[in-house]
Amino acid sequence: MFEEIVGSSDALSTVLELVSKVAPTDSTVLILGETGTGKELIARAIHRASKRSSRAFIRVNCAAMPRDLIASELFGHERGAFTGALQRRLGRFELADGGTIFLDEVGELPAETQVALLRVLQEREFEGIGGSQTVAVDVRVLAATNLNMSTAVAEWIFRQDLYYRLNVFPIQIPPLRDRPDDISLLVEYLIDQYGTKVGKKFRNINKKTLELFQAYDWPGNIRELQNVIERAVILCDGDTFWVEEAWLSRVAPKPLSTSVPLVANLVEREREMLEAALREAEGVIGGPRGAATKLGIPRQTLESKLRKLGINRHSFKTA
């Protein structure tokens, strides 16, 4: 079931053992790892080894969708729900009913969509945009992110209660630099894969090329390795595979001239989180159903944050 996952290192074997244990269950899995480490391959391996393998596997890239449309993509919408909604549309959760939904880059979800996702995880139901009917679904949720989720929760980028719901069974994918024993296997596999596509057959791998691959730290992980090998396969003539050393030179990142854009982004994400909680609580701050309880912070802390950001809680009260 792991035919697309190549390697025999201890680090990878540990991951695959976890996959084998969690796949037959219906538990929610949070796959953590740097960009390019193969988080989607792990998600597909879990689905294929599960009792839902004959049903749909629906992938959603949460970072690639416009923020104002992602709720509609996930939960669907009714005709006339917003400008351009000319007909009813099923969301990804309905399409995945009975199967698995994979939420890639889940850490990028807007605050209001995080609230809706929390409801699905808790109650297995939701309402489409512009709809009044509750839709029940039987979906297994797999999620992935390259964010440090503990930091994202501490900085108000991600809801703490949603994080706990997603983090039932975490799997940490090791970066390629921590899997040096797998590099030669991966290189052989990828050379064969890309060589077949362009009709080339390589009998040897240049010794210096293999040494370069082993010494490089692969900041882009397996995705970067794939790109380098695909380019080399196209350029290589003869039956010996080689790469240019210059392709593996690290480009030093430019120092940030200012932290203002980052700070502004964090403030905006915090504002979204607070407003989403107030909207859900209909402007109520205290009490068991109040926004402070939903956010998991003291009432006084919430009131202080609202004053600091100039948010009027009364504007969220229903008529």
SS (H, E, C) 39-91: HHHHHHHHHHCCCCCCCCEEEEECCCCCCCCHHHHHHCECCCCCCCCCCCECC
Cβ–Cβ < 8 Å for 171, 11:
no
Cβ–Cβ < 8 Å for 28, 1:
no
DSSP state letter for 204: E
Provide long-range contacts, Cβ within 8 A and 24+ apart, for 61-67: 61/104, 61/105, 62/103, 62/104, 62/105, 62/106, 62/107, 62/108, 62/109, 63/104, 63/105, 63/108, 64/105, 67/110
Q: Both tokens of residue 304? A: 């202080």
Backbone angles phi, psi at 66, to 5 degrees: -60, 140
3-class DSSP assignment, residue 235: helix
Cα distance between residue 166 and residue 170, in whole Å: 8
Identify which of 59, 67, 42, 47 has the alpha carbon closest to the alpha carbon of residue 93.
Answer: 59
Q: How would you class 189 by CB atoms within 10 Å of its CB: exposed for 0-12, middle for 13-18, buried for 19 or more?
A: middle
List, in sequence order, every beta strand (DSSP E) within 161-301: 169-172, 204-205, 240-241
3-class DSSP assignment, residue 180: helix
The secondary element (H helix, E strand) that includes residue 264 is: helix 260-280
Instruction: Assign domain 179-248 one CATH number from 1.10.8.60, 3.20.20.370, 3.40.50.720, 2.60.120.260.
Output: 1.10.8.60
pLDDT of 307 reads 81
Quote the crossing angle between the two packed helices 39-48 and 10-22, to the nearest 10°.
40
Residues of the chain with CATH 1.10.8.60: 179-248
Q: Are strands 169-172 and 29-32 parallel, antiparallel or unpaired?
A: parallel
Q: What fold, for 10-172?
A: Rossmann fold (3.40.50)
Residues of the chain with CATH 3.40.50.300: 10-172
The secondary element (H helix, E strand) that includes residue 29 is: strand 29-32
DSSP state letter for 99: S
Cα distance between residue 47 and residue 137, in whole Å: 17
Identify which of 103, 111, 99 has the alpha carbon closest to the alpha carbon of residue 47.
Answer: 99
Residues β-bridged to residue 58: 101
pLDDT of 208 reads 93
Q: Which residues of the chain have a pLDDT value below 50? A: 256-259, 319
Cα distance between residue 221 and residue 166, in whole Å: 25
Contacts of 106 (CB under 8 A, 6+ apart): 30, 62, 143, 144, 145, 166
